[in-house]
């Protein structure tokens, strides 16, 4: 290769983003909080493949939805000719897995998932071609109580994440018979105002008129607001179910607004639908959406089984967490281990393992391309690491079987604490110090008992 030839740099796919180390603490905080909240409600995690048969989504989501028509990453397997798709959502995958493995044979199941989804759409703030979702699916529960529980679980998550600017919108889209009556009247109404319909609305007029109600086109708003409302078509059972959801939410002080125009983008929804929305993310205001989808399991060939669930966009919620103004610390260790000389280096490996066995996060200084092996340069790295303490081992420490432990996070106005401790006593001393600091809300320590 010619020395002067410039090698072209390869960059990532547009809309599919790297999550860099500086962002990891925020993701970790979110994921740990989600895991804790969902576990506290008795939900068990399920993990499904990223690639599924294309028919799974075209049948489940609906042939005339935007996702199936425009956004799916679909391809033909070159080895066997199978039509496959990178999953654009996970409800269909979870239901497929539940049917395939007969998960509900012994009763209803509470399941949750997390992972990447893929949709080919224009990348914008909080909306990417590879994006991440957390979702929950409750299979086999009939009553309005599970609908309300899922909503309350979301509220607890917002509270635990410190998110305040999220509000709940609620609606019922009834059952198929009620929707069909409403659909007939809705089509007739839109045909009377056909000159106001944009291209998308005209295309959906006979295939999926409910989606026209969800238009963001400002020139159609007044006309859409006056359209027949599905709530007026609900029968006694659907109305009682919807009132049951509201009763539980009201009793638990969960505020909500009934939005009669609220519909979901997938064909499988019925009865309760809901969205959590915010004004903090511009046009991408929905951070979580869900509802009841009783028809879906039967659509996939199973016995009629009631179901309800939700999915939330992780990137959008992380944007909200950043906008809240709270500072999220970088991924810090508890101990940075500084050493000088070959014997000290060998002893430092032993010490690092003993500290890790005590439940501490330890970074042991290793030589870099730029050297930087002096005590001074190592202490700079120790301070920059965010560690609570530096443990220092040099020739004198090796000779005396001791280590110097220096506090790196001394409060302003206090003297820096530095002590010399026998090797055997270092783990217990540092743990005691860190637990004491933790009791005083020093959040930079990561002690794991």
Q: How does DSSP assign 344-389, residue by residue?
A: HHHHHHHHHHHHHHTT--EEE---BTTB--SHHHHHHHHHHTT-SE
Which residue segments constitute the domains of the chain, with CATH numbers given?
A: 24-174+234-323 (3.30.930.10), 335-439 (3.40.50.800)
State how far the Cα of 337 lies from the Cα of 393, in Å rounded to an integer: 8
8 Å CB contact between 110 and 138 = yes
Predicted pLDDT of residue 7 = 87
Count CB-CB contacts under 10 A for residue 411: 9
Mean pLDDT by 10 residues, the chain (449 residues): 75 86 86 94 95 84 66 85 89 92 91 93 78 94 94 94 90 87 87 83 80 81 86 91 96 93 75 90 81 89 91 91 71 84 90 91 76 78 86 90 86 68 90 65 40
State how far the Cα of 363 lies from the Cα of 392, in Å rounded to an integer: 12
Per-residue model confidence as pLDDT tens digits over 361-406: 899 988 754 455 788 888 888 888 888 889 999 998 999 999 999 9
Full-model pTM: 0.80
| Three-state DSSP class for residue 186 | helix
Predicted pLDDT of residue 331 = 60
Q: CB-side exposure of 61: number of CA atoms within 13 Å?
A: 23
Predicted pLDDT of residue 327 = 62
Per-residue model confidence as pLDDT tens digits over 269-326: 889 999 999 888 776 688 999 999 988 888 888 888 999 999 999 999 998 888 876 6
Q: Which class for 429: exposed (0-12), middle (13-18), buried (19 or more C-beta within 10 A)?
A: middle
State how far the Cα of 40 lies from the Cα of 21, in Å rounded to an integer: 29
């Amino acid at each position: 290769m010619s020395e002067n030839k410039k090698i072209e740099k390869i960059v990532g796919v547009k809309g599919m983003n790297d999550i860099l180390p500086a962002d990891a603490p925020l993701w970790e905080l979110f994921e740990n909080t989600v895991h804790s909240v969902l576990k506290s409600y008795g939900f068990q995690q399920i993990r499904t493949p990223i690639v599924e048969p294309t028919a799974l989504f075209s049948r489940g989501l609906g042939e005339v939805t935007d996702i199936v028509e425009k956004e799916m990453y679909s391809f033909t397997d070159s080895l066997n000719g199978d039509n496959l798709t990178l999953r654009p959502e996970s409800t269909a995958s979870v239901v497929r897995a539940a049917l395939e493995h007969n998960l509900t044979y012994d009763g209803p199941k509470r399941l949750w998932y997390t992972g990447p989804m893929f949709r080919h759409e224009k990348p914008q703030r909080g909306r990417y071609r590879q994006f991440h979702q957390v979702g929950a699916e409750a299979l086999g529960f009939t009553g309005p109580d599970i609908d309300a529980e899922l909503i309350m679980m979301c509220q607890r998550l917002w509270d635990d994440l410190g998110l305040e600017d999220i509000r709940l919108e609620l609606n019922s889209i009834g059952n198929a018979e009620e929707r069909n009556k409403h659909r007939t009247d809705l089509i007739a109404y839109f045909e009377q105002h056909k000159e106001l319909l944009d291209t998308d609305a005209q295309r959906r007029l006979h295939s999926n008129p409910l989606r026209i109600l969800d238009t963001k086109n400002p020139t159609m708003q007044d006309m859409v607001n006056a359209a027949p409302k599905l709530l007026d078509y609900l029968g006694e059972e659907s109305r009682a179910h919807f009132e049951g959801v509201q009763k539980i939410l009201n009793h638990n002080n969960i505020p909500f607004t009934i939005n009669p125009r609220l519909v979901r983008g997938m064909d499988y929804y019925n009865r309760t639908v809901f969205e959590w929305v915010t004004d903090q993310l511009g046009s991408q205001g929905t951070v979580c959406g869900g509802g009841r989808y009783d028809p879906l399991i039967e659509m996939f060939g199973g016995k009629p089984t009631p179901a309800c669930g939700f999915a939330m966009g992780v990137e959008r919620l992380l944007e909200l967490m950043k906008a809240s103004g709270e500072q999220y610390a970088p991924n810090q260790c508890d101990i940075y281990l500084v050493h000088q000389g070959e014997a000290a280096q060998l002893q430092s490996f032993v010490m690092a393992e003993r500290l890790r066995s005590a439940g501490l996060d330890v970074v042991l200084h290793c030589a870099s391309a730029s050297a930087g092996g002096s005590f001074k340069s190592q202490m700079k790295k120790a301070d920059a690491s965010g560690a609570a303490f530096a443990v220092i081992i040099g020739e004198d420490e090796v000779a005396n079987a001791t280590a110097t432990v220096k506090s790196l996070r001394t409060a302003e106005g206090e003297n820096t604490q530095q002590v010399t401790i026998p090797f055997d006593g270092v783990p217990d001393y540092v743990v005691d110090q860190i637990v004491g600091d933790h009791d005083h809300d020093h959040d930079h320590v990561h002690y794991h008992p």
